[in-house]
Amino acid sequence: MNPTRNNLPAASREQLVPLLNALLAAATDLKSQAKQAHWNVKGPQFLPLHELFDGIAGRLDAQIDDLAERAVQLGGTAHGTVRQAAAASTLPEFPANLTTGLEHAAAIADRLALYGAALRAAIDTATALGDADTADLFTGFSREADKDLWFIEAHLQ
């Protein structure tokens, strides 16, 4: 941990920084998977899914920056390279052989659901550690993940 005048207890910050880095890895991985789907989607739903996947990637890009910066604000180090994210992400690998819009949508929906669940668990952890600011950050991201999941699931129904 790096020195900081942040008045959250050091014991809390020491638990929050790894949590932030875990979500940073998942968000970075999910962003790259959304771009993979964006580039490779085909079929009659191409355009709306192409644009939806790109929007998801853009929202994740903003989240990635906030997660990394929050880890550093708490006295930690952000671990946000692509290689670090790949090594630390808990999301499954994106299938390489997908082509149809519905296949890509289902794969992204599965991963968004996992990311959303991780965010909800992180809200509880941050709250228990007395960090309302980090819990609020996670809450906003959770709402975005749920909305994106809703949009994708609407294509799957």
- pLDDT tens-digit map of 115-146: 999 999 999 999 999 999 999 999 999 999 99
Residue 125 corresponds to which tokens in the numbers above? 């952890």
Establish if 23 belongs to a structural domain: no
Q: What's the Cα-to-Cα distance from 45 to each of 96, 98, 99, 151, rounded to whole Å?
A: 19, 14, 12, 13
What DSSP assignment string belongs to 69-92? HHHHHTT-----SHHHHHHH--SP
Residue 97 corresponds to which tokens in the numbers above? 């052989």
- With tokens 């940073």, the residue in question is 24
**15: number of Cβ within 10 Å:** 17
Give me the pLDDT at residue 84, please: 96
Give me the pLDDT at residue 121, please: 98
Evaluate if residue 53 carries a pLDDT over 90: yes
Domain count for the chain: 1
> If you average pLDDT over every residue of the chain, what do you get?
97
Establish if 5 belongs to a structural domain: no
Establish if 42 belongs to a structural domain: yes
- pLDDT tens-digit map of 23-47: 999 999 999 999 999 999 999 999 9
Establish if 21 belongs to a structural domain: no
Give me the pLDDT at residue 99, please: 83
CA distance 133 to 150: 26
Domain residue limits at 144 = 11-16+31-156
β-sheet bridge partners, residue 100: 42
CATH number at residue 129: 1.20.1260.10
Establish if 63 belongs to a structural domain: yes
Average pLDDT of 105-110?
98
Give me the pLDDT at residue 93, please: 96
Question: Which ranges constitute the DSSP H helices of 93-131?
Answer: 101-128
- pLDDT tens-digit map of 62-104: 999 999 999 999 999 999 999 999 999 999 999 999 989 999 9
Residue 1 confidence class, pLDDT cut points 50, 70, 90: confident
Query: What percent of the chain shows pLDDT beyond 70?
Result: 100
Establish if 2 belongs to a structural domain: no
Give me the pLDDT at residue 38, please: 97
